Amino acid sequence: MSPAPLPTPAVVPRPESLTVRPGHFALTPETGVRAPAEAADAAGLARELLGVSGSGDQLRLRLVDEPALGAEGYRLKVTEDGVEAHAAAPAGLRWAVQTLRQLAAGEGRLPCVEVLDRPRFGWRGSLLDVARWCHPLPFLYRYVDLLALHKLNTLHLHLTDDQGWRFEVRKYPLLTEVGGFRAGSSLGHADQGRTDDVPHGGFYTQEELRDLVRYAGRRGVRVMPEIDAPGHMQAAVASYPWLGNRPDRRLPVRRAWGVSRHVLNVSDAAVDFVCDVLDELTDVFPFEYVHIGGDEVPTDEWEASADARRRIAAEGLGGAGELVGWWASRLAGHLAARGRRAAVWDELLERGVPAGAAVFAWQGLPRVDAGLRAGHDVVAAPYEHLYLDWAEGEGPEEPLAILSSLPLERVYAYRPPETVLGVQGHLWSEYLPTPELVEWRAFPRLAAVAEVGWSGAERDHPDFRRRLSAHLPLLDRLGVHYRPPDPPTA
Ligand code: TNX
């Protein structure tokens, strides 16, 4: 009789190859980690996440000259004597540690395995909207941890919107003193047009965000900040009315979800203002990309403005819509002069993508292709697959959501074109006022996003489900408030 097959350990996202061998290696507090100085972060992570602090060298992290592993790939070998992890760069060793964390599954017993692994796409992220609801700073740390656990390497922090400004700007303190607070919020679904009188607000200081960025960096997570302009700016206009199109008018920070018609004016002073904000922002966030928004900009105020008409004529633009592209190119130029690249929403495809900017395609699958066809770098977040703020199911027990539904299967089924930079799962927070609700919507669908971004193009839904059910106990141990997956549909 042949021996029973060895159980295949559950790693999410699926590694390129994983072979199980008989036997185990037991991690104990006495297990020691050895690593070169350049991999000190990965070694620190291993000690922290695997709970080992001995002085031996049973867990050996090495940097090797193996270009095929790329910037993030790694090899892992667990034998009964210890663990060897190899990578061409420190990032790969960090991901090897996350794989070990999953293999140990909280029990400190590593099955003997050989793993070869590297990501399909270099950009694997999640947008977290902290503008609609100011999520507590400790939750941002936890979210970074959960991204890293799934080998997601980018946190897109949506820091400003009509309903709140969360980034401390020293030159313009009213942005947070006034713009950080609102007098109420939508009550029920925004379509019903009701609001409450429960104040909400908050912001993050530059020091707090610097610490978060450092923490994320040690885990291999880059933080891309977003200042959304020239629409989604009512909180800024409420703080400094001269930024708006009717300086005589006082606007409140917006309560209701949905798109505000009140956008920035097109003066040089308004552009300089946002450039000043970007200067302070790039001081805090070292990542190459800065997202400058550009989505959902109603042009009514500009059409009614003599100043805007003059700007359109002076710049030789085709109409008010092109002022969105004009705004983006001014901001992108400012960033480029400081060695940074702009990221913009896909609305700019019709309104003028600034040179060198990356396009974030959100308005459906055809927008991903349109961005690629136009020759841009594209990050794919098509809403029918990757908008995790949509309810997962249709049931009456589902918490209120902007739209429904986006089942786990549909996230997992997304097959991005080979030529995108990568993918992001988006957590807009209108209907996610608490960290618990964010986690409910994010997990386990974000694990599927991670798999779409990291693993090969082939899809094996039963295999994903099997690995996922072995992965969920780890999320349980971490106290993640995830939504238990519905039974597979087919
Ligand atoms: C559209 S996606 C928006 C956000 C909303 C989101 C809700 C994008 C660039 N803009 O302002 O929060 O829909 O799903």
Choose, from 161, 301, 347, 439, the residue flagged as catalytic.
Answer: 161
Give distance in angstroms: CA of 432 to centre of ligand 1.
Answer: 13
Give distance in angstroms: CA of 325 to centre of ligand 1.
Answer: 19
pLDDT at residue number 5: 75
Q: Is 428 in the pocket of ligand 1 (CB under 6 A)?
A: yes
pLDDT at residue number 347: 98
pLDDT at residue number 107: 82
Of all protein residues, whose CA lies closest to atom 8 belonging to ligand 1? 295
Q: Is 226 in the pocket of ligand 1 (CB under 6 A)?
A: no
Of all protein residues, whose CA lies closest to atom 10 belonging to ligand 1? 295
Give distance in angstroms: CA of 361 to centre of ligand 1.
Answer: 12
Candidate from 227, 257, 295 with most ligand 1 atoms within 8 A of CB, to mutate: 295
CATH of domain 123-477: 3.20.20.80
Q: Is 390 in the pocket of ligand 1 (CB under 6 A)?
A: no
Q: Is 474 in the pocket of ligand 1 (CB under 6 A)?
A: no
User: Given 3.40.50.300, 3.90.25.10, 3.30.379.10, 3.40.50.1820, which CATH number is that of 17-117?
Assistant: 3.30.379.10
Q: Is 190 in the pocket of ligand 1 (CB under 6 A)?
A: no
Of all protein residues, whose CA lies closest to atom 13 belonging to ligand 1? 428
Q: What torsion do the CA atoms of 146, 379, 99, 50 make, to the nearest 10 degrees?
A: -30
Atom of ligand 1 nearest to the CA of 293: 9
pLDDT at residue number 490: 59
Q: Is 387 in the pocket of ligand 1 (CB under 6 A)?
A: yes
Of all protein residues, whose CA lies closest to atom 2 belonging to ligand 1? 362
Q: Is 296 in the pocket of ligand 1 (CB under 6 A)?
A: yes
Residue 461 designated active-site: no
Task: Please state, in angstroms and rounded to a whole number, the distance separating the CA atoms of residues 458 and 122.
Answer: 18
Give distance in angstroms: CA of 423 to centre of ligand 1.
Answer: 16
Q: Is 204 in the pocket of ligand 1 (CB under 6 A)?
A: no
Give distance in angstroms: CA of 257 to centre of ligand 1.
Answer: 10
Q: Is 143 in the pocket of ligand 1 (CB under 6 A)?
A: no
Of all protein residues, whose CA lies closest to atom 5 belonging to ligand 1? 428
pLDDT averaged over consecutive 10-residue blocks of the chain (490 residues)? 75 97 95 96 96 95 98 98 98 98 91 98 98 98 98 99 98 99 98 98 99 98 98 98 95 98 98 99 98 98 98 97 98 98 98 98 98 98 98 94 97 98 98 98 98 96 96 96 88
Choose, from 86, 135, 156, 232, the residue flagged as catalytic.
Answer: 232
pTM greater than the 0.85 cutoff? yes
Q: Is 346 in the pocket of ligand 1 (CB under 6 A)?
A: no
Atom of ligand 1 nearest to the CA of 428: 12
Task: Please state, in angstroms and rounded to a whole number, the distance separating the CA atoms of residues 419 and 283.
Answer: 31
Domain ranges of the chain: 17-117, 123-477
Residue 232 designated active-site: yes
Q: Is 133 in the pocket of ligand 1 (CB under 6 A)?
A: no
Atom of ligand 1 nearest to the CA of 161: 11
Give distance in angstroms: CA of 99 to centre of ligand 1.
Answer: 33
Atom of ligand 1 nearest to the CA of 429: 12
